Amino acid sequence: MNQITVIGLDGQQKQIEFDVGDNLMEVLRDAGYDEIMALCGGCCSCATCHVKIEDQASFLLPPVEEDEEVLVSMADDYDESSSRLSCQIPMTGDQSGMTVQIVEAD
Ligand code: FES
C-alpha cells in the first residue's frame, strides 16, 4: 500500500493513500486538501500547489527543473531545501512514507 503523511495548515497529520501515476497535487486534492488551489491545473505556471517535503533525497523525487525553480522560489514561505510544486512530482512507489507539509497559498 502506498501512503504518505500530510501535515495540514492546522498542523494535523493524516496518512493518505495514493495511486502510482498520479501527481502529488492530484493526490492532495483528491484527499480533500482544497487549500492546494492548483489554479493552472498542473501546467507549472501558478505556484498555488506549493508544498514542503523534508528529506527529498530519500524519496527519489525528480530534480527541480528551471521553470519550477523560478516559480517556487517566488512563493511566500519558500524554503530552498524543502519547497516543491506538487504538480511536478509524479508519484511512484518510491514516495511511500514521504511527509508533505501543506503551505498556505500566496
Ligand atoms: S498547479 Fe500550477 S504550478 Fe502546480
- Cβ–ligand 1 distance for 7 under 6 Å, the answer no
Per-residue pLDDT of the chain (106 residues; tens, 9 = 90+): 899 999 999 999 999 999 999 999 999 999 999 999 999 999 999 999 999 998 988 999 999 999 999 999 999 899 999 999 999 999 999 999 999 999 988 7
Distance 14 CA to ligand 1 centre (A): 23
Tens digits of residue pLDDT in 79-88: 999 999 999 9
| Domain with 28 in it | 3-102
Q: What is the CATH number of the domain that holds 22?
A: 3.10.20.30
CA 6 – CA 93 distance, rounded (Å): 16
What's the number of domains the chain is made of?
A: 1
Contact 100, 51 (CB under 8 A): yes
Residue 52: name the closest of 99, 106, 5 by CA.
99
